[in-house]
Homo-oligomer: A and B are copies of this chain.
Amino acid sequence: MSEAVNSRNHQRERVISAAFDLFAERGYEGTTVEAIADRAGVGRTTFFRMFRAKESVVFPAHDRLLAAIEARLTTARPGTEKVALSEASELVLEQYLREGERARQRYALTREVEALRERERASIFQYERLFRRFIHRWWGGDRETLLRAELAANAVVTAHNHVLRAWLRGEVGAEEARTWFREVIRDLDSQLSWYERPVHAPGRREHTGEHDGVSAASEGGPAVIVVRDANEFHELVPRIQELLE
């Protein structure tokens, strides 16, 4: 965590800001990479070392986000897959909400510029593929379940994006978006179950209390418990106890 690294992060931030400023002033196509580099006080070469392409500066957090999702999905255990799925998507939502105005700027930009829309689609496909990979694995990993896993993954991503876009367009506030998203995921639940229904017999799945708003992942070591509504925690204690055993 040396000074050099810190300064590089700062430099990177400066480039991103310069880019967004210029995009706002002259539009995306009207802004050359050279202009961005100049305003940020770096060379054109350095820009391309920081970002693979001009488009990439618009979605700078994408890779980190993908990694975070993968990390969250990896923690899923039998019975907690749906919570993992829901919370992993929520990571994306939260990232955007955190970015706030810049995310909305990017959205406005993306609406206008075809090249950026393509870029956005590429991101969405990466999310879908990631989710599909995990769901497919959870559901057995054989060829017959692949299509269902794909459908399930796409459904989650689509639902998430639907809510996200509403927020990006300013149609709902941050808190509304959160609750709406949870609602949508809950609505989707039966769909995912349907998709999960395998062609042949599934491995049995004991009741784990996932519908009770609590999930737990535990394998001997430390246990992590997620309680969706802290106010009803005491009602859930028996369930949690059960899950931990």
**Residue A224 contacts which of B186, B188, B224 (CB distance < 8 angstroms)?**
B224
- For A150, give the chain B residue with the smallest CB separation: B158
**Contact between A179 and B218 (Cβ–Cβ < 8 Å)?**
yes
**Within the complex, what minimum Cβ distance (angstroms) separates A51 from chain B?**
16
The answer to the question of A199 belonging to the interface, with a C-beta cut-off of 8 Å to chain B, is yes
Q: Which of A224-245 contact B (CB under 8 A)?
A: 224-237, 240-241, 244
Number of interface residues of A (CB under 8 A): 59
A122 and B191 alpha carbons, distance in the complex (Å): 26
The answer to the question of A106 belonging to the interface, with a C-beta cut-off of 8 Å to chain B, is no
- Copies of this protein chain in the complex: 2
**Residue A235 contacts which of B184, B212, B224, B237 (CB distance < 8 angstroms)?**
B212
The answer to the question of A210 belonging to the interface, with a C-beta cut-off of 8 Å to chain B, is yes
> What is the interface of chain A mostly: helix, strand, loop, or mixed?
helix
The answer to the question of A151 belonging to the interface, with a C-beta cut-off of 8 Å to chain B, is yes
Given A151-B159, A159-B147, A187-B199, A228 and B217 contact (CB-CB distance below 8 Å): yes
**Within the complex, what minimum Cβ distance (angstroms) separates A174 from chain B?**
12
**Contact between B213 and A214 (Cβ–Cβ < 8 Å)?**
yes
**Residues of A with Cβ closer than 8 Å to B?**
118, 121-122, 125, 146-147, 150-151, 154-155, 158-159, 162, 175, 178-179, 182-184, 186-188, 190-191, 194-195, 199, 205, 210-237, 240-241, 244
